[in-house]
Structure 1
Amino acid sequence: MTTSKKRAAAGALAVALCVAGLSTAQAEVTDYEFQLLQTDVKQGNAAIVDVRLVDKRTGSLVADAVIFATRIDMAPDGMETMTAPIEVLPSTEPGVYRFKANLVMAGGWRLSLGAKIQGETGTLESKLVLKATP
């Protein structure tokens, strides 16, 4: 093989490796989701709502997300303006996020979350529906 053919082959190989590197799948915030640990929660002033953050590609739990937006309202029952106080509690295990809410009425409640995931760009937004039971 001549020197020019070797250089051409080496160049083609370099281009192929670069293209392969660019096409490697990168995670996106759409690869993650919040899931309720329980869909029925006891109604009351100190109702505890647990959610886990899951990497949908692997099924593994994701710890250390930064929850920066929380809201709970009765939109599932047609009362979106009926909101309740909610606070973030310390996690009991990695990948599980806890909230305490004042669920004053039995019925459907929507938990809206906004989070940043370490190492990912963009914001994960999620709306989960649960039921407060007497």
Structure 2
Amino acid sequence: MTKTSFSRALPAALLGLALTAAARADTTDYEFQLVKDEAKQGEAILDVRLVDKRTAKPVPNAVIFAKRIDMAPDSMEEMTSKIEQLPSPEPGIYRFKAKLTMAGGWRLSLGAKVQGETGTVENKLVLKATK
């Protein structure tokens, strides 16, 4: 292989490698993270970041199709509350309004589809409601 053909082949090989790595992305490469893990009891606004763990960058435009909030951390999984999705304040941040009816541990369960990926991103996040 001549030096000229090698210099042309190298960028093509690197591009192929990058595309192969991107194609191997999995839903386990993504995770939800609470922006704050504490909220006031009552009507609460909860911000959650969706992150690509490979790059640590926020992931915008995911479709949240499952959401639930309950008191499982305090052994009261049957104690659920209403939760509603609100407009996103910025790309990669997903906002929810929930009624935290009592102080204690709450679990926020989310399910989402990330554009371009097959499968579902699912996480269970724990936060604390304070008086």
TM-score bin, normalised by smaller chain: 0.7 to 0.9
Equivalent-residue separation in structure 1 for 2:27 and 2:66 (angstroms): 16
Indicate the residue corresponding to 1:85 in structure 2.
82
Q: Deviations over 1:8-54 (max 9, x none)?
A: xxxxxxxxx8xx76x9322111000000000011110x201100000
d(CA) in 1 for partners of 2:118, 2:39: 33
Q: 1:53: which partner in 2?
A: 50
Partner of 1:75: 72
Question: 2:120 is matched with which residue?
Answer: 123
| Structure-2 residue corresponding to 1:37 | 35
- Aligned length in residues: 114
* In structure 1, C-alpha distance between the alignment counterparts of 2:89 and 2:20, rounded to whole Å: 35
- Unaligned runs of 5+ residues in structure 1 are 1-16
- What is the rounded CA distance, in whole Å, between the counterparts of 2:108 and 2:83 in structure 1? 10
Whose Rg is larger? 1
- Separation of aligned partners in 2, 1:49 and 1:128: 11
The root-mean-square deviation of aligned C-alpha atoms, in Å, is 1.4
Structure 1 residue 59 displacement after superposition: 0.5
5+ residue gaps, structure 2, are 1-12
Residue identity in the other structure for 1:92: P
The corresponding residue for 1:27 is 25
